[in-house]
């Protein structure tokens, strides 16, 4: 029987879903049809913070629960931290590069951008970190799919744009990045670069098929990052960034998690880290969130400094 894979219609979403469909076909021999689902986020040009978390996800989840599709592929960073009743993340495949990328006119790097350069980005997290650099750079909100953003850059609306490097690579435009940004400069969003493959909880056969695509290290890293996000979201609506990496420790693989909270103007920037075992991934994230809160993360939105003194 043919499996129906729900996906958004953007170039990036189709590329991500095609990769998963091909992996399922290769492992099972089953046919997989892509079913395009239009989400509220695709119909609106409003800023993401105004639209709300999950704006690209809800329609796919509704289609899953209505059994119009069998499984769906999401950019994991788009998912709300709370799970959906009746659904399960059956696989988190090996993560792509989680870093952000700069695409600048003239091939410039971040350090080479002139004072008062306009940088387009759709994320408050990136805007806050650009402001935190203490440079005379102007971060400007930018919506649209990758092709739209690159077109606006080429037309001169911006001097540069910042977006996820994984997205560029997945649509074969990775060569257009003029700099892949070091996480010390631009810590990524929790789960950036990772995909979530979701199906109905009661579909045991499909869950078993999809489980073969799961990557243990990616799941642990993403679990830690999103546990931090979930813990902080309860009382902190400031921009949050996190990146977990798995490395070999003295007693086996260990998670090294970095987390950060910023005020939107970049005047407050708090960065901390923690380590732990893969089995304790969620607790590593929660513990680091508590550390950040103890150091003042909840007050980030109340901090206002002039980023261009």
* Active site residues per annotation: 78
Least Cα distance to 224 among 244, 206, 238, 209 occurs for 244
User: In angstroms, rounded to a whole number, what is the distance separating the alpha carbons of residues 155 and 152?
Assistant: 5
The first and second tokens of residue 283, run together, are 């607790």
Residue pair 196/231 in contact by the 8 Å Cβ criterion: no
User: In angstroms, rounded to a whole number, what is the distance separating the alpha carbons of residues 71 and 92?
Assistant: 13
Q: Helix, strand, or coil here: 271? A: strand
Least Cα distance to 77 among 152, 203, 163 occurs for 163
User: In angstroms, rounded to a whole number, what is the distance separating the alpha carbons of residues 27 and 274?
Assistant: 37
Q: Helix, strand, or coil here: 291? A: helix
Least Cα distance to 41 among 8, 84, 65, 1 occurs for 8
Question: Rounded to a whole number, what is the largest CA-CA distance in the chain?
Answer: 64
Run of H or E including 19: helix 11-28
Residue pair 191/76 in contact by the 8 Å Cβ criterion: yes
Task: Please count the other Cβ atoms lying within 10 Å of the Cβ belonging to residue 126.
Answer: 27
Local structure of residue 118 (DSSP, 8 states)? E
User: In angstroms, rounded to a whole number, what is the distance separating the alpha carbons of residues 218 and 92?
Assistant: 7
């Amino acid at each position: 029987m043919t499996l129906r894979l729900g996906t958004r219609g953007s170039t990036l979403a189709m590329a991500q879903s095609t990769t998963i469909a091909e992996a399922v076909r290769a492992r099972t021999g089953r046919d997989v049809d892509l079913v395009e689902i239009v989400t509220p986020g695709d119909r609106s040009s409003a800023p993401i913070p105004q639209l709300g978390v999950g704006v690209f996800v809800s329609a796919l989840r509704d289609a899953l629960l209505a059994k119009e599709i069998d499984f769906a592929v999401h950019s994991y960073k788009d998912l709300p931290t709370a799970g959906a009743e009746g659904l399960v993340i059956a696989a988190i495949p090996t993560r792509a590069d989680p870093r952000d990328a700069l695409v600048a006119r003239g091939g410039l790097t971040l350090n080479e951008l002139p004072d008062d350069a306009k940088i387009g980005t759709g994320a408050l997290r990136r805007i806050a970190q650009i402001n935190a650099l203490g440079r005379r750079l102007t971060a400007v909100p930018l919506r649209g799919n990758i092709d739209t953003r690159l077109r606006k850059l080429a037309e001169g609306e911006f001097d540069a744009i910042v977006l996820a490097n994984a997205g560029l690579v997945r649509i074969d435009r990775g060569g257009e990045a003029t700099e892949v940004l070091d996480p010390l400069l631009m810590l990524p969003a929790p789960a950036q670069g990772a995909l979530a493959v979701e199906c109905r909880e009661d579909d045991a056969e499909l869950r078993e098929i999809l489980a073969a695509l799961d990557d243990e290290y990616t799941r642990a890293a993403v679990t830690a990052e999103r546990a931090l996000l979930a813990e902080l979201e309860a009382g902190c609506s400031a921009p949050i960034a996190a990146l977990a990496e798995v490395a070999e420790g003295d007693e086996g693989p260990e998670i090294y998690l970095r987390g950060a909270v910023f005020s939107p103007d970049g005047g407050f920037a708090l960065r901390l880290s923690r380590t732990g075992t893969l089995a304790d991934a969620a607790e590593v994230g929660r513990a680091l969130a508590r550390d950040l809160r103890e150091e003042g993360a909840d007050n980030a939105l109340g901090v206002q400094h002039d980023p261009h003194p």
